[in-house]
Amino acid sequence: MITGSDALLQALIGEGVDTIFGYPGGAIMPVYDRLYDYSRELRHILVRHEQGAVHAAQGYARVSGKVGVCLATSGPGATNLITGIADAMIDSTPLVCIVGQVSAALLGTDAFQETDMVGMSMPTTKWNCQVTDARDIAEAVAKAFYIAGTGRPGPVLIDFTKNAQLGEVDFNYQKCNYIRSYQPNPTVEKQEIEAAAAAINAAKKPFALLGQGVVLANAEQEVVSFLEKADIPFGWTILGKSAVSEQHPLNKGMLGMHGNYAPNAKTNECDVLIAMGMRFDDRVTSDVKVYAQQAKIVHLEIDKAEVNKNVHADFPVVGNLKETLPLLVQKINKAKHTEWIQSFAPLQLVENQKVIDKTLHPAAGDITIGEAVATVSDSLQGNAILVTDVGQQQMIALRYFKVNSTRSVVTSGGLGTMGFGLPAAIGAKVAAPKQEVVLFVGDGGIQMTLQELGTIMQDQIGVKIVVLNNSFLGMVRQWQQLFHQRRYSFTPLQSPDYLTLTKAYGIASYRVTKREELQQGIDAMLNSPDAFLLEIKIAPEDNVFPMIPAGAPFDKIRFE
């Protein structure tokens, strides 16, 4: 017989968990007491705020491909996880979030630090449950990991009452591999494959869109086989950035509001549009009334709820990409679309002339965001994991920072969570300690979770932090400049002295204020074996272009 707390920890070990991100408190104290004796099996990272725990678990999950785990107490500890849980839900990140709860006898009495986490988290979780008896913990954990990590991944929450943590149970753990009401991998319909293949074979101007679903399905090689056999150019969403090498000759760049000109334009020119593991988010489609109206749309997606939700699919293929793509490859013809692929080049030239050359090679003046990002990227030659916060630096980093391998991009997509970057970088580095992890963050975003420098200090986590400081909330300021007559309402931002601050945390740092100092600062950062913060002062009114205004048709694209 063991306690419910021991049962929880042994169940986590049974699921292959090696790292937990968490913060202790009264209602989860029995678990933390038992965790004291599991230091060899389970590494616990003490964050400085529960939001840091869930974002770190996200970063860990994205890079490792495993289910991330975070642990918090009841009440405010649990509610502090909600932002990260919502972020994980919309970005399909597998998490198991375990929160303490008051004893079952006190439920519903408004006891100290009691909150209805099952009700509160229901819209933002793939599944949740409350455990009020120690005998139920093994089954709850097994279900949680199975649901979180299979099908379209997502976050799961277990609300664990204090009496259940203290109660005793005859423990026997078995992994879950079946739930009658849950079918993570839909049955692939043969006729859907055949119809999609016929449409692709008839295409003269096919174009593919790659989303994060490619990575989540571990279907990177299957996608390459498909694209190369049918000779189809492709673009990628921000979460699909690392699915296929950016050096691949069929790669035409990033889609969406701040994406590359050619793939956005060709979306509205192709005759067959093949979407794989992406959900036609509004930041990709903009005005859906005029989005790809000329094209027949093939949508390969594991989540049936996403099919026809935003954009009508003429040829839906519901199923796991790891299964559906090989079936599709068997049915498609080997093809050549040389003239179509070459038609992207003039548009790429336009973007180079109007945006990229000016951004990466400014004649004079302050350092640009793109210049800073590209110089760091060149120094690493793609051999790093890219983590971003949210804002201008996010879009610029996704455009100009090159990566060589899959699972090497960690960013907040659907929710756009400022403050995500620093704790997510911690999780990414814990998942891949031998790889360089570089975070790009604005002076606004870093101040939202700045306390996690303490986590870096205590656990000696060697992340490289690049603060792009323009003394503004940059993306909001850009919109104020372009659409609100430069009425900079509460976007000018004063920052602390980051060099003094990092010194207090025992973290090395360097400040770049001039172009001549940029490479020297980058070298100092990359030559450091430990955590390092590089602050780069950038042009205050530097903007991210191209830009399609929110909800506007593609022909309203702006280059300046």
Question: pLDDT category, 108, cuts 50, 70, 90?
Answer: very high
- Residue spans in the chain of domains classed CATH 3.40.50.1220: 190-345
Arithmetic mean of pLDDT, 151-178: 97
Per-residue model confidence as pLDDT tens digits over 339-379: 999 999 999 999 999 999 999 999 889 999 999 999 999 99
Give the pLDDT of residue 365.
Answer: 93
- Residue spans in the chain of domains classed CATH 3.40.50.970: 2-169, 367-537
Give the pLDDT of residue 23.
Answer: 98
Choose the catalytic residue: 254, 278, 475, 547: 475
Q: What is the mean pLDDT of the chain?
A: 97
Give the pLDDT of residue 343.
Answer: 98
Residue 262 in contact with residue 236, Cβ under 8 Å? no
Give the pLDDT of residue 363.
Answer: 85
Q: Is 112 noted as a catalytic residue in this protein?
A: yes
Arithmetic mean of pLDDT, 183-205: 97
Residue 422 in contact with residue 439, Cβ under 8 Å? yes
Return the CATH class of domain 190-345: alpha beta
Q: Is 50 noted as a catalytic residue in this protein?
A: yes
Per-residue model confidence as pLDDT tens digits over 260-270: 999 999 999 99
Q: Helical H runs in 207-294? A: 213-216, 220-230, 261-267, 282-285
CA dihedral 306, 311, 312, 318 (to 10 degrees): -30
Choose the catalytic residue: 29, 113, 358, 517: 113
Q: Is 276 noted as a catalytic residue in this protein?
A: no
User: Whose CA is closest to 262, among 334, 196, 353?
Assistant: 353
At which residue do the structure tokens 């950038």 appear?
A: 538
- Cis ω for the linkage preceding 546 (within 30 of 0): yes
Q: Which residues contact 167 (CB under 8 A, 6 or more apart)?
A: 3, 4, 133, 134, 135
End-to-end CA distance of the chain: 68
What CA–CA distance (Å, rounded) separates 329 from 248? 19
Q: Is 475 noted as a catalytic residue in this protein?
A: yes
Q: Which residues contact 60 (CB under 8 A, 6 or more apart)?
A: 19, 21, 66, 68, 427, 428, 430, 431
Choose the catalytic residue: 162, 266, 402, 464: 162
Sheet of strand 206-210: strand arrangement = 251-254, 234-236, 206-210, 272-276, 296-301, 315-318
Arithmetic mean of pLDDT, 71-81: 98
3-state secondary structure at position 146: helix
Give the pLDDT of residue 136.
Answer: 97
Q: Is 162 noted as a catalytic residue in this protein?
A: yes
- In the CATH scheme, what architecture does the domain 2-169 have? 3-Layer(aba) Sandwich (3.40)
Residue 445 in contact with residue 468, Cβ under 8 Å? no
Choose the catalytic residue: 15, 21, 50, 537: 50
Give the pLDDT of residue 128.
Answer: 98
Give the pLDDT of residue 62.
Answer: 98
Q: What is the pTM of this model?
A: 0.97
CB atoms closer than 10 angstroms to residue 454 = 16
Arithmetic mean of pLDDT, 6-35: 98
Give the pLDDT of residue 539.
Answer: 96
Arithmetic mean of pLDDT, 14-42: 97
For 84, the token pair is: 């990260």
Cα 339 to Cα 330, 335, 378: the distances in Å are 25, 12, 32
Return the CATH class of domain 367-537: alpha beta
